[in-house]
């Protein structure tokens, strides 16, 4: 009789251990579900047609880790432009782009490069979008789009109302309004907001933006998307916390 009691006690302990193990698994599963839900929310926000965000000038594996965590809409890579400290070669870009999570589109940024260079680089790196940041004209833009089969963005340095009017007539799929080549400074938004120049097309806003200024920028300028580089850096390197804060700020703009 005593042996049977001991045996039943052992079985009860074993059953209790199984219950505890199942509880631990349930907690782990719940944690995974919460994590998945957060990611799905970010993905849905990115594809909802609301204000988008591009993090530009990525050059290190850890930069990719940061954007994969934050889930911006676009990741930008500077190519064939040695003047930029963020410049990388096509093979390095390919390595980084392959690590991007689905839903983040890779944008290759070029400054006055030959057509063949752009086409070859787009294929090698696996780009989704071409961004031209030099003096490229409408005929060249059309050639790039035809040869690569990819959407083409064109950046404009804004100084006067004439620059806005020129941008408005651009043949690119999307225009980007900026202050210059990575100056980290904003152009005079009043050129647009005061009515000096009327811009009847969607655009991406760049230049001098930070996580703290995104909300004001979106309210004032109503861009389709914002583009940040130096504004999410610390000591000239991409900063995880700033990237996450910038994406969160954009996702809050439409609420």
What is the model's pLDDT at position 30? 42
Between CA 33 and CA 40 the distance in angstroms is 10
Tell me what percent of the residues of the chain surpass a pLDDT of 90.
70
Helical spans, DSSP H, in the chain: 2-46, 61-70, 90-98, 115-125, 138-148, 161-168, 190-193, 214-221, 240-253
| CB 119, CB 147: distance < 8 Å | yes
Identify the band that residue 41 occupies on the pLDDT scale cut at 50, 70 and 90: very low
Both 36 and 58 in one domain: the answer is: no
> Two tokens at 28?
């782990």
Both 172 and 198 in one domain: the answer is: yes
The total of structural domains in the chain comes to 2
- Looking at the predicted structure, is the pLDDT value of residue 15 above 50? no
Both 62 and 163 in one domain: the answer is: yes
Please give the residue range of the domain that contains residue 138: 52-253
pLDDT mean over 43-59: 76
The owner of tokens 């530009």 is 56
Both 140 and 241 in one domain: the answer is: yes
Identify the band that residue 48 occupies on the pLDDT scale cut at 50, 70 and 90: low
Give which of 201, 239, 108, 227 is closest to 250, Cα–Cα. 227
- Looking at the predicted structure, is the pLDDT value of residue 68 above 50? yes
- Tens of pLDDT, residue by residue over 134-147, are 999 999 999 999 99
Average pLDDT of the chain, as a whole number:
85
Both 39 and 58 in one domain: the answer is: no
pLDDT mean over 67-83: 97
């Amino acid at each position: 009789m005593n042996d049977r009691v001991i045996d039943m006690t052992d079985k009860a302990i074993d059953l209790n251990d199984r219950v505890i193990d199942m509880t631990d698994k349930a907690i782990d599963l719940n944690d995974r579900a919460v994590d998945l839900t957060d990611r799905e929310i970010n993905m849905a926000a990115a594809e909802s047609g609301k204000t988008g965000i591009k993090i530009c000038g990525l050059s290190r594996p850890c930069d990719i880790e940061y954007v994969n965590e934050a889930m911006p809409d676009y990741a930008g890579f500077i190519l064939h432009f040695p003047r930029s400290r963020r410049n990388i070669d096509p093979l390095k870009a390919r390595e980084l782009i392959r690590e991007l999570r689905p839903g983040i589109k890779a944008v290759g940024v070029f400054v006055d490069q030959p057509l063949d260079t752009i086409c070859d680089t787009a294929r090698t790196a696996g780009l989704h979008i071409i961004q031209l940041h030099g003096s490229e004209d409408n005929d060249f833009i059309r050639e790039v789009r035809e040869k690569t089969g990819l959407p083409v963005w064109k950046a404009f340095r804004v100084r006067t109302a004439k620059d806005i009017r020129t941008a408005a007539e651009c043949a690119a799929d999307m225009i980007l309004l900026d202050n210059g080549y990575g100056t980290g400074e904003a152009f005079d938004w009043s050129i647009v907001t005061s009515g000096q120049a009327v811009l009847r097309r969607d655009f991406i806003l760049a230049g001098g933006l930070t996580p703290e200024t995104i909300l004001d920028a979106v309210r004032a300028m109503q861009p389709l998307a914002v583009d940040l580089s130096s504004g999410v850096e610390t000591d000239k390197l991409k900063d995880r916390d700033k990237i996450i804060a910038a994406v969160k700020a954009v996702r809050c703009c439409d609420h």
